[in-house]
Structure 1
Amino acid sequence: MQTHFTEQDLEQPHLREADRVLRTCVHCGFCNATCPTYRLLGDERDGPRGRIYLMKALLEDRDQSADITAETRLHLDRCLTCRNCETTCPSGVEYHKLLDIGRAELERRLPRKAPERAFRFALRKALVEPGRFKALLKLGLTFRPLVPGALKAKMPPAPVDAGTRPDGRRHARQMLILEGCVQPGLSPNTNAATARVLDRLGIGLTPAPEAGCCGAVDFHLDAQDAGRARARANIDAWWPHIEAGCEAIVQTASGCGAFVKEYVDILADDPDYADKAARVSELARDLVEVLRDEDLDRLEVKSEGRLAFHCPCTLQHAQKLGGATEAVLTRLGFSLTPVQNPHLCCGSAGTYSVTQPELATRLRDDKLDALEAGEPDVIATANIGCQTHLGSAGRTPVRHWIELVDEVLA
């Protein structure tokens, strides 16, 4: 794609990066074929190719036209950032990097109206602190009839009890675990089950209480600087453990894992953190990356029933781990049912199901139809957002896959 940035423009790092990404696009449109919003809406501007043209016009616009920015925001807000288009693209366009630049430029030129800014600020503050989120969740469950519809649908029934977590300090092999921000409240058993399964494999998990939200919620809700600040805080919390020889940093939510692996890019221009961020991204491992390299014959699994696996976009498109969890579950003896169009997004996409509830619900219902076609007893997934969103329909039960493994260990 031909661009029209001046030499002065290209002295700015974000425009130089945008120019690099734009020039890899060849206008082929293969991306539209797998874009969830283009499939629903049929509007070129709601597909990756159209959004790329909109962002190109925005970034090259010297007059900073309000019409261009207002139109662009509508269509960029509808993007799930599922990165399905990146998996499909034959030219390797790093669309998500351009999207981050475009959204930041929109916020600079055309700040949102006060009510929308307040809503997004409240959403960020409610989600990113685990203690605050747990308190708000408890309050919401108590007064559920009074909660607004989009938020009410996201609230699960009482979570599965976490049970006991083994003391992993006795093991020679040590890994860190990112506890997460909403997962401890919505599904406290996920990390506990992870600790129990890895304990059987001779791996100890070390929580770092000072580490909090990975930063993705802030970064994708118009607060990129706050997202970077959280990344720095996590690096500071993990660094003593890394220096002590920690083997890996485990994430049980694929959305968090995808973002931690991006620390190397989002802090690349930070002279104090660039090298540390690169090391953290190198050590970041989705849980399935840990298990697939272990001798799973050591786990005596007695599995019954049928499950369908929903592979989150952050696992298959961002982390390029599509099929990895299914392979591990098959090795462990689980019976997996076929899933139609497994590449398509369920509509959760972080806070998308709250900010774009109509589109998210349509995508969720389509995904559930595909998952339930094989008549599974349970749906397994690898991301708390997908788990909550799919479960909000009240159809087939949805669990994190590691919980199912933990439950059937002999």
Structure 2
Amino acid sequence: MQTTLSEHARQLPRAEEAESILRSCVHCGFCNATCPTYQLLGDELDGPRGRIYLIKQVLEGNEVTQKTQQHLDRCLSCRNCETTCPSGVDYHNLLDIGRAVVDAAVPRPAGQRLLREGLRNVVPNPGRFKVLLNSGQALRALLPAPLQAKLPRRIEPARPRPVTRHERQVLMLEGCVQPSLSPNTNAAAARVLDRLGISVTAACEAGCCGAVDYHLDAQAAGLDRARRNIDAWWPSLENGAEAIVQTASGCGAFIKEYGHLLSADPDYAEKARKVSALAKDLVEILRDEPLEQLGVHSDQRLAFHCPCTLQHAQKLGGTVETVLTRLGFSLTPVPDSHLCCGSAGTYSLTQPELSRQLRDNKLNALESGHPDVIVTANIGCQSHLDGAGRTSVRHWIELIDAALP
């Protein structure tokens, strides 16, 4: 796509990157065929091709409006379009650049600002989030139905973790909301890894991966969180930790971007590159291990929801399914498994109507094979889908842990 950036746009730190991405798009429109919001709304500007055109207009100096902002806000950042694109357009990075320019030019209404600032102040902070969750649980009966749906139906308490005892060691990102919403997930991962001769080393100083801030109009704050995590992990990496494991694919996708997002930071570029290279989704560790020695046995029928951050961002679609099949689980077919469930981080709160439609469509597909339970690989998808009150949704590692002899 031919483009000429305005003089103002050329001063942006990522101007050259934006221009390169824009020029790689041939406007074929294949991306619209797999875009969840385009399928729901049928509006060209609510598909990747239209949003690319809007960003192009903005960077060429045309007027920026609330309508522009609305169409960019409606994007789930699911990156399905990147999987589909024959030209390899780096859409999500262009979207991040475009959103930053638009958000700087268009003040949000007070309600939107309050919601986004509230989310940024609560979600990345495990302590605050736990207090809010506990308060919600206590007052559940008094809350309106949409808020009740955001609360977990049940919280599986964390079983004890094994002590660090193996020569092979990995770090594990604890996450910000997962310790409260699903405290047994990381504990289950530690127990399964321990059975395979791998110990999990704690890095308590590491906090939220930074994605919440970064995708809620606060990119600089998100990158500051990334720097703090790098500092927290670095001593253990120097002492031989072989990987930084995530059980939430959304966090993993963002950590794998640290190297790119901090490439211009002279103090962190090299460290960020190494951290991104060592960031592994849990399934990347398990798939290469002798899983058969676990002796897992289960007759449950599972439907696996592959999060967008796992299949489109990390390119690990089919990997969890292969691991579960190797372990003897029975997997049901899932139509349109490439489509987003509508969780998308905080999207279910900032775009609730679209999010609910996508959730219900996804649950219909997941339940079509009549599974006993639905499993997934991201806490956001898990809580969003389970909030519908239909088939129970859990993290896949918990099913493996429960089936250990």
How would you bin the TM-score normalised by the shorter chain? over 0.9
2:142 aligned with 1:134? no
Identity of aligned residues (%): 68
> 1:318, 1:262 → 2: CA distance?
10
2:30 aligned with 1:30? yes
Match of 2:302, as an amino acid? L
Please give the residue correspondences for 1:275-290 in structure 2 after superposition, counting only pairs within 5 Å: 275-290=270-285
Please give the residue correspondences for 1:86-97 in structure 2 after superposition, counting only pairs within 5 Å: 86-97=82-93
Q: C-alpha offsets along residues 328-358 of structure 1, whole Å, 9 cap, x if unaligned? A: 0000000000000100000000000011111
> 1:9, 1:221 → 2: CA distance?
21
1:10 CA drift (Å): 3.6
Aligned position for 1:305 = 300
> 1:72, 1:145 → 2: CA distance?
39
Decide which moves more: 102-111 or 40-49. Answer: 102-111
Aligned position for 1:324 = 319
Aligned position for 1:47 = 47
Decide which moves more: 7-16 or 199-208. Answer: 7-16
Q: 1:257 aligns with which of 244, 252, 257?
A: 252
TM-score, scaled relative to structure 1: 0.97
What SS does the aligned partner of 2:288 have? coil
> 2:303, 2:238 → 1: CA distance?
40
Is the contact between residue 6 and residue 60 of structure 2 (CA under 8 Å) also seen in structure 1?
no
Aligned position for 1:151 = 147
1:266 CA drift (Å): 1.2
> 1:94, 1:388 → 2: CA distance?
29
Aligned position for 2:81 = 85
Match of 1:349, as an amino acid? A
> 1:150, 1:84 → 2: CA distance?
27
Aligned position for 1:203 = 198
Is the contact between residue 219 and residue 226 of structure 1 (CA under 8 Å) also seen in structure 2?
yes
Q: 1:356 aligns with which of 326, 351, 366?
A: 351
Aligned position for 2:4 = 4
> 1:11, 1:365 → 2: CA distance?
44
Q: 1:117 aligns with which of 113, 119, 130?
A: 113
Q: Structure 2: which 5+ runs fail to align?
A: none
Aligned position for 1:167 = 163
Please give the residue correspondences for 1:383-398 in structure 2 after superposition, counting only pairs within 5 Å: 383-398=378-393
1:46 CA drift (Å): 0.4
What SS does the aligned partner of 1:52 have? helix
Q: Which runs of 4+ in 1 moved over 4 A?
A: 6-9
Match of 2:51, as an amino acid? R
1:135 CA drift (Å): 1.0
2:260 aligned with 1:248? no
2:21 aligned with 1:21? yes
Q: C-alpha offsets along residues 289-343 of structure 1, whole Å, 9 cap, x if unaligned? A: 0000111121101111200000000000000000000000000000000000100
TM-score, scaled relative to structure 2: 0.98
> 2:202, 2:335 → 1: CA distance?
37
Match of 2:124, as an amino acid? V
> 1:7, 1:41 → 2: CA distance?
34
Decide which moves more: 157-166 or 208-217. Answer: 157-166
Match of 1:74, as an amino acid? Q
Aligned position for 1:238 = 233
> 2:79, 2:318 → 1: CA distance?
16
1:8 CA drift (Å): 7.5
Question: Cα gap change, 1:86/1:330 in structure 2, threshold over 3 Å: closer, same or farther?
Answer: same
Compute the RMSD of aligned alpha carbons.
1.2
1:7 CA drift (Å): 7.3
What SS does the aligned partner of 2:394 have? strand
Q: 2:69 aligns with which of 52, 73, 86?
A: 73
Aligned position for 1:377 = 372
Q: Structure 1: which 5+ runs fail to align?
A: none
> 1:159, 1:199 → 2: CA distance?
23
Is the contact between residue 182 and residue 379 of structure 2 (CA under 8 Å) also seen in structure 1?
yes
Match of 1:106, as an amino acid? V
> 2:26, 2:94 → 1: CA distance?
15
Match of 1:103, as an amino acid? R
Q: C-alpha offsets along residues 84-127 of structure 1, whole Å, 9 cap, x if unaligned? A: 00000000001000100011001111121233212111111111
Q: C-alpha offsets along residues 36-91 of structure 1, whole Å, 9 cap, x if unaligned? A: 000000000000000000110011116xx2xx331211101110000000000000
1:132 CA drift (Å): 1.1
> 2:98, 2:147 → 1: CA distance?
28
> 2:362, 2:111 → 1: CA distance?
32
> 1:107, 1:146 → 2: CA distance?
36
> 1:350, 1:248 → 2: CA distance?
24
Match of 1:110, as an amino acid? V
Q: C-alpha offsets along residues 229-285 of structure 1, whole Å, 9 cap, x if unaligned? A: 100000000000011011000000000000000001111111111110000000000
> 1:120, 1:254 → 2: CA distance?
22
Is the contact between residue 9 and residue 16 of structure 1 (CA under 8 Å) also seen in structure 2?
no
> 2:287, 2:214 → 1: CA distance?
30
Alignment size in residue pairs: 405
Match of 1:59, as an amino acid? L
